[in-house]
């Protein structure tokens, strides 16, 4: 059923913010939004979302915040119950983040854009880094049901038995000291497909650790 959604230009200062809004905007994010709105090539490329039944914003709090209170801004006005308003609040952003990003496509798009604002350039950089990290994690995860081919030497043999302890460090100094004494160094692991990741070799032979710790205790 149509909600008679319509576009209106309303003074920013007259729009009441939603007390149930769970999105928190950092100063850096607000500055990025402001720079984009003031960019002569971009300006308003979207609109705020307003519920005329409850007289509250549903989306667009950041854009409303950085706008001059007396300036009319574009607002999509609809009519929803309070229950529907809450449902929109909890799903509007999360649904958008469910989409997978293509870092190569994003990089190609970035290469064609001239971003003068420092805040916008930082936003682009962080987005690209997040897309790259997500792709690396996806490539590192093996398909369910496939036998592990990454570290066959770690497979337990019939005559073997592995026990382990977990050590928790509450500060960086203690962690670094433990790494130094137990000779824990950075190692590179190559996954199927040739993808390599570098991290700390945090698997230490127990007997070796006991010899090191016992030797230190006797000193």
Domain ranges, ordered by start, for the chain: 6-97, 103-140, 152-218
The C-alpha atoms of residue 123 and residue 126 are separated, in whole angstroms, by 5
Residue 207: strand, helix, or coil:
helix
Under 8 Å between Cβ of 46 and 6: no
Q: Give the model's pLDDT for residue 98.
A: 58
Nearest to 128 by CA among 115, 147, 142: 115
Q: Averaged over 199-216, what is the pLDDT?
A: 72
Q: Give the model's pLDDT for residue 95.
A: 55
User: Which of the four pLDDT bands, split at 50, 70 and 90, describes residue 92?
Assistant: confident
Q: How confident is the model over 130-156, as pLDDT tens digits?
A: 888 877 877 776 555 555 454 555 566
| In the predicted structure, residue 73 carries a pLDDT above the cut 70 | yes
Of 23-37, 64-78, 114-128, 137-151, the poorest mean pLDDT is in 137-151
pTM: 0.55
Under 8 Å between Cβ of 78 and 5: yes
What is the residue whose two structure tokens read 């409303």? 64
Which ranges in the chain belong to alpha helices (H)?
Answer: 27-38, 61-65, 82-97, 103-110, 118-140, 172-181, 206-218
User: Which of the four pLDDT bands, split at 50, 70 and 90, describes residue 182?
Assistant: confident
Q: Give the model's pLDDT for residue 129.
A: 84
The C-alpha atoms of residue 72 and residue 14 are separated, in whole angstroms, by 9
- Asked if CATH classification 1.10.3470 holds for the domain at 6-97, the reply, yes or no, is no
């Amino acid at each position: 059923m149509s909600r008679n959604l319509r576009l209106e230009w309303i003074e920013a200062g007259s729009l009441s913010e939603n007390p149930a809004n769970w999105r928190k905007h950092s100063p850096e994010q607000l500055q990025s939004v402001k720079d984009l709105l003031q960019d002569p090539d971009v300006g308003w490329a979207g609109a705020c979302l307003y519920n005329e039944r409850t007289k509250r914003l549903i989306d667009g709090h950041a854009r409303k915040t950085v706008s001059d209170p007396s300036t009319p801004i574009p607002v999509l006005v609809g009519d929803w119950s309070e229950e529907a308003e809450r449902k929109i609040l909890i799903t509007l952003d999360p649904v958008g983040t469910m989409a997978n990003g293509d870092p190569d496509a994003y990089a190609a798009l970035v290469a064609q854009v001239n971003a003068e604002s420092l805040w916008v350039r930082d936003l682009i950089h962080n987005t690209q880094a997040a897309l790259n990290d997500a792709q690396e994690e996806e490539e590192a995860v093996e398909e369910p049901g496939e036998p592990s081919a990454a570290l066959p030497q770690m497979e337990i043999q019939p005559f073997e038995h592995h026990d382990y302890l977990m050590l928790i460090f509450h500060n960086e100094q203690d962690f670094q000291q433990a790494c130094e004494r137990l000779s824990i160094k950075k190692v590179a692991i190559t996954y199927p497909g040739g993808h390599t990741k570098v991290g700390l070799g945090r698997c230490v032979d127990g007997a070796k650790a006991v010899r090191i710790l016992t030797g230190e205790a006797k000193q």
